[in-house]
């Protein structure tokens, strides 16, 4: 499991809980952010609580999904803004996506954060929910694939690992899965042509996050996160992703049942890691009662991620930032 915490400083109860339960990693949200030294200290405290150099994740996309904001970090453009640049000049857009991810890596590693939940590989359709909206690079799979690959490479060049999301695709959701369950009625052929290609192209990356979306052509009863059929037949089968599969947040209302039941269903469906983000202690206790220790293929996938953390490419931050700023100054 990957867990959140309640605020900017670990409570004694949280520290003892994490020490006893040993989550595989942690994730930060806006409630955990106040100022630079505090972020660094919190990340260090999380790792100290489990006695290991565990992965620490964040959603630092740019645009409206940027957990560490001004004045701590400058605002970055949305995926759509990057995509607009790509549509005007392909090479310039790809370079901008790489540079922005490289800057994310500079920013995050200063605080000890070493995983960014990026890129967004969802391909929206007309009229779909704004939950993805301008987070997407574009409305066609080629744009999303090329920009997503550039973003992935930029993060890795800086020593930060990416998490692709939201597999096998949230772009057709006409509801916000934070609040209700989206149901997609597109045919399998439509999904294979439009929604799945970015994930197929980047299937060799080490981590991906599921979507809480029902695809009626595959499994009319269960969202992808808790669907053994979607995970086995599509994510592991058709897409061919063999990396570490994280659920989207267990506390999102697209999922049904108690938090404990949701966690159990996520594991039973074939996800390797249960993600629980809100830091509510009673909910985290339900999660841990229903999540087994990592073993077998899941453990091997987790170890592959841990082994992949490395040093950056030695690039100079000032030069990367100046080049990125110049691209948008002339855009």
pLDDT at 175: 66
Q: Which two tokens stand for residue 304?
A: 């592959």
Q: Cβ–Cβ contacts within 10 Å for residue 253, how many?
A: 12
pLDDT tens, residue by residue, 218-271: 999 999 999 999 999 999 999 999 999 999 999 998 899 999 999 999 999 999
Per-residue tokens: 50 = 């489990």
Task: Name the helix (H) or strand (E) containing 3.
Answer: strand 2-3
Residue 260 CB-density burial (10 A; 0-12 exposed, 13-18 middle, 19+ buried):
middle
Q: Report pLDDT for 126.
A: 86
Distance CA 202, CA 181 (A): 26
- Cα→Cα distances 109→26, 133, 288, Å: 15, 28, 29
* Enzyme catalytic residues: 178, 248
Structural domains in the chain plus CATH codes:
65-274+294-330 (3.20.20.300)
Rounded CA-CA distance 330/267 in Å is 48
- Say which DSSP state 219 is in: B
DSSP 268-322: HHT-SB-EE-S--HHHHHHHHHT-PPP-HHHHHHHHHHHHH--------HHHHHH
CA distances from 15 to 42, 281, 323 (A): 11, 11, 42
With b for 16 or more beta-carbon neighbours within 10 A and e for fewer, the 9-40 pattern comes to ebeeebbebbeebebbbbbbeeebbeeeeebe
- 3-class DSSP assignment, residue 49: helix
User: Is this prediction's pTM over 0.75?
Assistant: yes
Mean pLDDT by 10 residues, the chain (331 residues): 98 98 98 98 98 98 96 95 97 98 98 98 88 93 98 98 97 75 94 98 98 96 97 98 97 91 97 98 98 97 96 94 89 50
- Position 177 scores a pLDDT of 63
What pLDDT score does 254 carry? 82
Show the CA angle centred on residue 324, arms to residues 319 and 328, nearest 5°: 145
* Residue with token string 């808790």: 226
């Amino acid at each position: 499991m990957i867990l959140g915490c309640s605020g900017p400083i670990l409570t004694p109860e949280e520290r003892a809980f994490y020490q006893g339960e040993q989550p595989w990693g942690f994730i930060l949200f806006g409630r955990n952010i106040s100022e630079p030294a505090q972020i660094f200290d919190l990340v260090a405290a999380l790792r100290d609580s489990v006695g290991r150099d565990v992965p620490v994740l964040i959603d630092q996309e740019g645009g409206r999904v940027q957990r560490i904001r001004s004045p701590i970090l400058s605002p970055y453009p949305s995926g759509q803004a990057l995509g607009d640049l790509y549509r005007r000049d392909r090479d310039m857009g790809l370079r901008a996506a790489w540079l922005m991810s490289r800057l994310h890596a500079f920013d995050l590693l200063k605080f000890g954060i070493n995983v960014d939940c990026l890129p967004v590989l969802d391909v929206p359709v007309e009229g779909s929910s704004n939950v993805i909206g301008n987070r997407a690079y574009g409305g066609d799979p080629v744009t999303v694939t090329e920009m997503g690959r550039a973003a992935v490479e930029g993060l890795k060049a800086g020593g930060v690992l990416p998490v692709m999301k939201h597999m096998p695709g949230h772009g057709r959701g006409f509801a916000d899965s934070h609040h209700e369950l989206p149901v997609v009625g597109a045919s399998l052929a439509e999904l294979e042509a439009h929604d799945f290609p970015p994930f197929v192209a980047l299937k060799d990356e080490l981590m991906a996050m599921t979507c809480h979306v029902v695809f009626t052509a595959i499994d009319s009863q269960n969202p992808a996160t808790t669907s053994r059929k979607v995970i086995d037949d599509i994510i592991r089968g058709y897409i061919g992703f063999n990396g570490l599969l994280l659920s989207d947040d267990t506390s999102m209302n697209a999922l049904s049942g108690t938090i404990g039941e949701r966690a159990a269903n996520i594991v039973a469906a074939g996800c390797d890691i249960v993600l629980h983000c809100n830091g509510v202690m009673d909910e985290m206790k339900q999660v841990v009662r229903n999540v087994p220790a990592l073993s077998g293929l899941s453990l091997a996938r987790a170890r592959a991620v841990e082994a992949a953390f490395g040093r950056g490419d030695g690039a100079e931050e000032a030069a990367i930032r100046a080049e990125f700023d110049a691209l948008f100054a002339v855009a």
